[in-house]
Amino acid sequence: MFSFIVKKKLHQARLSELTTPHGTIPGPFFQFVATQGAIRGQVMSEDMEALGADIMLANTYHLHLRPGEDRVAAAGGLHGFMHWDKPMTTDSGGYQVFSLGDHVKVDADGVTFRSPLDGSTHRFTPENVIEIEAKLGPDIIMPLDVCTPFSASKEEVEKAIELSTQWAKRCKQKQEELQSPQALYGIVQGGLYPDLREKAAKLLRDIGFFGYSIGGELQEKGEKEIKKIVGSTVLHLPEDAPRYLMGYGKPEDIVEAVRLGVDQFDCVLPIRNARHGQIFSDLNVEELTRCLTEPDYIIDPKKLYTLIDITKAQFADDQAPIGPVNAVMQKPYTRSYVHHLMRAEAPSGMRLAVLTNIAFYVGLMKEIRGVIEKEGV
């Protein structure tokens, strides 16, 4: 039902295939974030399919609070609820829970928190998170873990790893008990400490998971710090399992992580930025090829792609198309037109911007796979 194979390697970059009950995903791949069961910006599942997206990611925390996992289950799980027939992932919601700060109480058994929607009290344990995810019905699921801020001391991070490891064991035991047809990943935490990342990775390997995620607020750190942490973590993950870098999504960062051996990504960035007028375009395939074939080559985002703020006045008279015509955007809508729509706060402007960024990211991952396919062994 689930399988993962590495077909080719280009240095450390991997061309892979991840097979799920809802289809096979070529890797490296990007998961578009449908936090509450939808892509923001008036984008529907049929749009995602037409654009070539292979997988989406929803959030257990948000769906538990609204509309509730039982309502989703009654619709046939997320696939039926969203009318999406391709693979789905859910995050456990641990990151969102721990971001609530003073509204969270953690103990050895789980975490208690208040809903920001209505103030009601909720309880997450390793077991009931797996039960919630089973009802939501995605293909790939994450365990409940302890997310520490980067301001945490090394001692605090180490204690969090110990608790997360206990929770990971309990999550796996509950999933085996339920016999749910889902692939459970382990999440490697450890902050900015390579030795703790190594410790966490080895502890999770001993438990055994289908895949392994690299967690933490890495996007808040500098490029060198991120490269050090991701690179040192990947060294301790199994070769025959998918590696998932969570919440990490600038094009240049994806390319860097692919060079380090990461297979799977997600981030709100392409959708969120589009809603505020930031458009990705003009991927330089020649530059991308050099980045992947020369592992020490310094990635320059300005050479790799173009990023524009379509709301700026300089685009008011720009008659260049916002992006290539595709299966959803079948007309060459101009930068001038989208600029006008965004300034007028017309929903169609946001939709066109979001669709453009989705198409760019689908194309980025396709080109990455193409380079590894052509140049790898």
Q: Does residue 212 contact residue 198 with C-beta atoms inside 8 Å? A: no
Dist CA 228 CA 230 (whole Å): 6
Note if 266 is an active site residue: yes
Residue partners of 197: CB distance under 8 A and separation at least 6 = 188, 189, 190, 229, 232, 233, 236
Cis peptide leading into 242, omega within 30 of 0? no
Q: Does residue 206 contact residue 167 with C-beta atoms inside 8 Å? A: no
**Which residue, chain included where needed, has tokens 């390697």?**
9
Measured in whole angstroms, the distance separating CA 134 from the mean position of its chain's CA atoms is 19
Pairing relationship of beta strands 243-245 and 23-27 according to DSSP bridges? unpaired
Q: Does residue 5 contact residue 238 with C-beta atoms inside 8 Å? A: no
DSSP letter at 210 equals: S
Measured in whole angstroms, the distance separating CA 99 from the mean position of its chain's CA atoms is 18
Catalytic residue, candidates 47, 253, 263, 266: 266
**Which residue, chain included where needed, has tokens 């060294």?**
235
Q: 3-state DSSP call for residue 207?
A: helix
Buried/exposed 59-77: b ≥16 CB within 10 Å, e otherwise: bbbbbbbeeebeebbeeeb
Cα dihedral angle (163, 169, 175, 176), rounded to 10 degrees?
Answer: -170
Catalytic residue, candidates 91, 139, 253, 263: 91
Tokens in use for 302?
């300005």
Query: Which residues belong to the active site?
Result: 91, 266
